[in-house]
Amino acid sequence: MLKAAARGTKASSIRASASQKRFLSIHEYQSMKLLNSYGIPTPKSIPAFSTQEAYDVAKNFGTDKLVIKAQVLAGGRGKGKFDNGFQGGVHVVNSPDEAKDIAGKMLNAKLITKQTGAAGRICNAVMLAERRDPSHEYYVAVLNDRNRQTPVIVASNQGGMNIEEVAAKDPDAIITIPVDLEKGLPDAEAADLAAKLGFGSEDAKKQAADIFQRLYRIFKDKDATQIEINPMAETKDGAVLCMDAKFGFDDNAEFRQADVYGLRDVSQEDAAEVEAQKYNLNFIKLDGNIGCLVNGAGLAMATMDVLKLHGGDPANFLDVGGGATPETVKKAFELLLSDQGVTAIFLNIFGGIMRCDYIAEGVIKATKELQLRVPLVVRLKGNKEMEAKELIRESGLKIYAFDELDEAAAKAVELGRKSA
């Protein structure tokens, strides 16, 4: 999909996520249902959550020409591989027995794709969809454009492939249309976009234009951050259908989008990140060995940069925010220690709204109760700094305390290597 940056496994990848927003994604079968609820045509699609359900759905579908798709929140499913050895998350099926057999190989197995990492993601559902024969495939997305400060529709007549590769090889193949937030996409602009994309008949152009307008309506109504249709297809029988869909929704709108957020599948998310959200901790797991506990996104990124400067690798991005208590600090330590790859912890706090003595209390509590097994480096500056340092001294615990960020980071890297 077109986006500024993807979440990666290195500290530099966090910069695109400095605000620490997590945008909800939903499964393909849920996306199809949402599209249909707005009158947008798709191939008939039905989910199944067991092998018997897959058999029953295929038996009663009304056609034997079906596709079965693993419902995992990751791209590249077709080329993915399950941890049981089964190849591919998308297969053509021609009978109920075949649907049951393939569902059995997908369900309760982890699908590994280029987006999931080596751990993969669990497949708890499959979707059976009718096969439709496209004569041409297109790409359509509705996104927020930060430069224009307005929603845009991004479209191309080269759909069914990686749109970022298309954009790199042939920038002229990408059409971007700004959309007025309140007024939406006017009829004339929707029709003009359909014509530019080259839909074959006048009827197909009308169908496509209508879909563009309805997609924007969902985008606005549901506080979406993105809608991506790849491909939108013009079929050989003249229909225009959304063949596949990906949605993202703004977490800031959760309070008014209860129906959408009721679709959340936490089994597709990192367990530690899900747990962190319960305590209002901004946590993203990375692939290093030094656990970081910091307050403020900017300081957290600076901390990771300094660790990298000294040859270390952060194991996470963890921002406890400005309202942390000793209890939330303890929970933060639990999250860090749940990663067996962590060989040292670096706590870097600047006390403004945050009180350093509260942090110190949480550190001492966590160190004692969790039987800390790795070296702990602490840097506390600002509000109640002296009181915090006194608490640490009186605790008698082996905590490496520093005033300077550079020295503290260097020590964390050194201790992390010794403990590895």
Catalytic positions are 139, 228
Largest Cα–Cα separation, the chain: 80
The DSSP bridge partners found for residue 316 are: 285
Question: What's the Cα-to-Cα distance from 16 to each of 6, 10, 19, 242, 405, rounded to whole Å?
Answer: 8, 12, 8, 29, 24
Question: What's the Cα-to-Cα distance from 177 to each of 167, 182, 222, rounded to whole Å?
Answer: 15, 15, 20
145: left (phi > 0), else alpha (psi -120 to 50), else beta?
Answer: beta
Mapped onto helix, strand or coil, the DSSP state of residue 9 is coil
DSSP-derived pairing of the beta strands 121-122 and 110-112: antiparallel
User: 138 near 156, Cβ under 8 Å?
Assistant: yes
Q: Is the dihedral of CA 295, 301, 304, 306 positive or negative?
A: negative
Give per-residue burial for 359-397: e unless 16+ CB within 10 Å, then b: bbbbbbbbbeeeebebbbbbbbbebbbeebbebbeebee
Token couple for 40: 């947008």
What is the Cα–Cα distance from 49 to 280, expressed in whole angstroms?
32
Q: Tell me which H or E stretch contains 377.
A: strand 376-382
Neighbours of 319 (CB within 10 A): 26
> CA 264, 266, 271: angle at the middle one, nearest 5?
155
Token couple for 16: 């695109």
User: 381 near 357, Cβ under 8 Å?
Assistant: no
Q: What is the DSSP letter of 269?
A: S
